[in-house]
A and B are shown apart, each in its own frame.
Chain A
Amino acid sequence: MEKSIKKYFPIFALPTLVAFTIGFIVPFIMGIYLSFCEFTTVTDASFVGLKNYLRVFTDPTFVHALWYTALFTIVSVLTINVFAFTIAMLLTKGIRGTNLFRTVFFMPNLIGGIVLGYIWQILLNGILGNFGRTLTYSSSYGFLGLMILMNWQQIGYMMIIYIAGIQNIPGELIEAAKIDGATNWQLLRKVTIPMVMPSITICTFLTLTNSFKLFDQNLALTAGEPSNNSQMLALNIFETFYGRNGWEGVGQAKAVIFFLIVAVIAIAQNRITRSKEVQQ
């Protein structure tokens, strides 16, 4: 069978492969090359070695954005997963209205980041207006605002995944633990959490990468104000490319560093939580 399919390569695989080459492989390789160049468009690039990378770390906005993003990611991964898991636990107890609550909590996820950013801007500025402040008063307001927004958006999505994980735990397992006299806390620690570890792996992965790569919400909510202090990495890279003349190479070098950080986080996170998963 393999032989007769093989001839059909141009029909089956080629269209995707051509698009993948245009949409990913070529831009990726060019991106790496351009990070060592000075350029304004892709055709006038001249090789400058590591100069761009040296400029990246002397750019205070980048260093600030890096720490801001790291802190934001840590806090949001923790809060989103704790809330989502708690809600999922409570919503699997078979209470009245479970389906309706699930529907409501998931809904914000379908709304795009730009639209969400403006929805929360009017709400949060309305509240802060009572104290004569706005979201762009200081970067900690932007941080909190973005945190509330991300929790509102992502909890529903993660909750759905946790609910599926919790419902997959065999009923006998819980019952056996109860007969053996396990308290609720022991049940949670020794049975439920180990059994939903695959869900925890995927949810921490998703929240981690979503938060770290956050762009739309950041742009719409504060656009980095005041004076780039609430700017996250993705927005910082965008601004370097399109907001400053002669910084395109530095922007590309930042993008490469950004990619490396995301890759390392993704791989490390996967290793760590996967190792905690139990065989079913």
Chain B
Amino acid sequence: MAKNKNTDSQVSSVRRAKHGWILTLFFSILAIFYMYPIFLVVINSVKKKAFITRTPFALPDERSFFGLTNFVNGVEKTNFFGALGNSVIITVGSVALIILCTSMCAWFITRVHNKVNTGIYLLCLFSMIVPFQMVMFPLSKIANMMKLSNPIGIILVYLGFGAGLAVFMFCGFVKSIPLEIEEAAMIDGCTPIQTFFKVVFPIMKPTVITVAILQAMWIWNDYLLPYLVLDLKKYKTIPIVVQYLKGGYGAVDWGTMMAMLVLAIIPIIIFYAVCQKYIIEGVVAGAVKG
């Protein structure tokens, strides 16, 4: 492997010398275009709303500059920080619960061979191709009847609907763990619970990260499930408040909309900056197993 990399870098350094700079230039321009939509939202978030729709591409000047007024108005109107809190509780809670429960479940159904466990595995596989629209109506009614219409209750719904993919990915990994390691732990007197938490779970760490990243990306940005399940008078998440800016208060106020978009993007950028390596590795690992 090390030898491979060596030849690779030799090849690439030859190519780099040849026309690498043209590609670098090309990708630099492309990267600027790629970032432009976000830049556009940021500059418009500090403009008065009349200027946003009339001259969206102009930089803010003396006449159009509005300071942070859009942000103040938007935060007040939408109770943005309440929504941020809900989004954090729901995402962190759901991801933690999904990791804990599905990794335990996956280990159990892989290690104990019987028809029930094979059935559970196949159902999980099957659930991955079922679109949310198929279950959304009965699911939201069941959630309401069971009083799950709050940020804690919805965590259980996410565990249920997200279990399929997570169980499937953990099962794939458990199959690759040699049985001898667990047998040794059990012979040394570990109970199955100790064996799982002291031996198996630490080995699973790469898959834990992958599952956590994929589920977090989905749950944080999910609009429809919380929209249908949560009691919207009391609880909203970030995607819901953004969508409410359009429908909930008459005509769209593009000033507050831009400010809220900026506030919605900031946590994502911070998260990406901190965990970039894990996110990209997680996506690759998730794709190979999916």
Contacts and interface: CB of A to CB of B under 8 A. Distances in A.
Interface of A: 1-2, 4-6, 8-9, 11-13, 15-17, 19-28, 30-31, 34, 41-42, 90-91, 93-97, 100-115, 118-120, 122-123, 125-126, 129, 152, 157, 160-161, 164, 170-172, 175, 198-199, 202-203, 205-206, 209, 213, 215-216, 219-220, 234, 237-238, 241, 248, 251-252, 255-256, 258-259, 262-263, 266-267
Contacts of B258: 122
A22 B155 CA distance: 12
Contact of B137 (A108, A199, A251): A251
Contact of B223 (A21, A109, A125, A216): A216
B31 A105 contact: yes
Given A17-B105, A107-B272, A161-B284, A26 B137 contact: no
A103 to B, nearest CB: 6
Contacts of B276: 103
B229 to A, nearest CB: 10
B228 to A, nearest CB: 9
B76 interface: no
Nearest to A251: B137
Interface in B17-42: 20-21, 23-24, 27-28, 30-31, 34-38, 40-41
B15 interface: yes
Contacts of B156: 19, 22-23
Interface residues of B, number: 103
A93 B41 CA distance: 33
B217 A101 contact: no
B123 A20 contact: yes
Interface in B113-172: 113, 117, 120, 123-124, 127, 129-139, 141-142, 146, 156-161, 163-164, 167
B56 A93 contact: no
Interface of A is mostly: helix
B112 interface: yes
B160 A24 contact: yes
A248 B137 CA distance: 9
B27 A90 contact: yes
B137 A24 contact: no
Contact of A13 (B15, B120, B283): B120
B88 interface: no
Contacts of A213: 131-133
A5 B123 CA distance: 22
A171 B251 CA distance: 59
A209 B287 CA distance: 14
Contacts of B202: none
